[in-house]
Amino acid sequence: AQSVTQLDSHVSVSEGTPVLLRCNYSSSYSPSLFWYVQHPNKGLQLLLKYTSAATLVKGINGFEAEFKKSETSFHLTKPSAHMSDAAEYFCVVSDPSSNTGKLIFGQGTTLQVKP
Amino acid sequence: IAGITQAPTSQILAAGRRMTLRCTQDMRHNAMYWYRQDLGLGLRLIHYSNTAGTTGKGEVPDGYSVSRANTDDFPLTLASAVPSQTSVYFCASSAVTNRGTGELFFGEGSRLTVL
C-alpha cells in the first residue's frame, strides 16, 4: 500500500531565508511523486514532479525537490523564500503500475513567510 | 484556456436536499476525479473515472454518486445532503497513460455548507 507523510503541518520562515518542507513516502513500486501548492481559496497547482528520471527535480518559482530512495524522502526546498510563497503545500504519491490513476495526498504543510 | 470549470463556487443547502456539483474540462483528459478537502485531513478521493462510461470509488464514496456520460463532464451528486458533507470539493482531470498518472489539473473548488 502506498502512503505519504508530511512531517510538518506548519513551517514558518523569514523572507529571504531557505525553505524546507519534508515529505516521506511508502510505496511497493517505484513511485511517481509530486508537489502541489494551494494558495488561499484557490485550486491546487503543480510545482514539480518526479517520474524516475533525474533524482533532483526543478519546478516552478525556484522550488526543487530531491528523490532519495534510500531515505524514502522527497523534500521540497527553495533557497530564498518570497512573501508570495505563503501557501499550503501537498506532497503526493502515485503508483505508476496502477491503472486507476489514483493519487495519495499528504495532509499538507502550511508555509508562513514573515517579512 | 479554461481548463477545469466547477459550478457553483459556493452553496448553502438544507440537510436532506439533493445537490449536484458540476465539473467540465476542455483538455480532453481521459481521467477525472472528485476530491473533498477538510481541515487537517488534506484531500480525499471521493470518486474517479478513467474514461467516459466508467467510474470507480475512492476513499470516501458513501453519500456521493458520479456519472461520466462523455469525456468533458463529471458531475458529483449528493442524493440527500448531511452536515458531514460540508466541505470544499475539487474536481480534477489528468491524462493517464501506461506510464501512470500525469499531472492533475484542478478546478478552483466548490464550497458546500450543509445546515
Phi and psi at A36, nearest 5°, equal -120, 150
Give the pLDDT band of residue A3 (cuts 50, 70, 90): confident
What does the domain layout of chain B look like in residue ranges?
4-114
Q: Grid coordinates standing for A75?
A: 523534500
Whole-number pLDDT of residue A96:
58
A31 prior amide bond cis, ω within 30: no
In CATH terms, the fold of domain A3-114 is Immunoglobulin-like (2.60.40)
Q: Which residues of A touch B31 (CB under 8 A)?
A: 101
Which residues of chain A have a Cβ shorter than 8 Å from any chain B Cβ?
Answer: 32, 34, 36, 41-46, 49, 51, 90, 94-103, 105-108
Is B43 close to A105, i.e. CB distance below 8 A?
yes
For residues B29, B65, A97 and A103, what is the CA-based torsion angle, rounded to 10 degrees? Answer: 80
Q: Check if the beta carbon of residue A74 is closer than 8 Å to that of residue A33.
A: yes
Q: Which residue has the higher pLDDT, A43 or B89?
A: B89
For the stretch A67-98, pLDDT in tens is 998 999 999 999 999 999 999 999 998 865 55
Average pLDDT of each block of 10 consecutive residues along chain B (115 residues)?
A: 89 97 95 91 89 92 97 97 97 77 85 97
B3: cell is 481548463
Q: Is the minimum CB–CB distance between B89 and chain A shorter than 8 Å?
A: no
Task: Please report the number of interchain residue pairs, chain A to chain B, with beta-carbon separation below 8 angstroms.
Answer: 67
Count of other CB atoms within 10 angstroms of residue A3: 11
Q: Please give the CATH superfamily to which domain B4-114 belongs.
A: Immunoglobulins (2.60.40.10)
Which residues does chain A have within 8 Å of residue B108's beta carbon, measured at their own beta carbons? 41-43
pLDDT on residue B18: 97
Q: What is the pLDDT of residue B89?
A: 97
Distance from CA of A68 to the nearest CA of B (A): 20
pLDDT at position B99, please?
60
Residues of chain A in contact with residue B104, where contact means CB-CB under 8 angstroms, are 34, 36, 44, 46, 103
Q: Which residues contact A57 (CB under 8 A, 6 or more apart)?
A: A48, A49, A50, A64, A65, A66, A67
Phi and psi, residue A19, nearest 5°: -115, 135
Question: Quick one: pLDDT at residue B95?
Answer: 84
Counting beta carbons within 10 angstroms of the beta carbon of residue A45, is it exposed (0 to 12), middle (13 to 18) or buried (19 or more)? middle
The pLDDT tens digits of the residues spanning A63-74 come to: 999 999 899 999
Nearest alpha carbon to residue A27 among A76, A72, A75: A72
Does B21 reach chain A within 8 Å, measured CB to CB? no
Kindly list the domain boundaries of chain A, sorted by start residue. 3-114
Residue A39 DSSP code? -
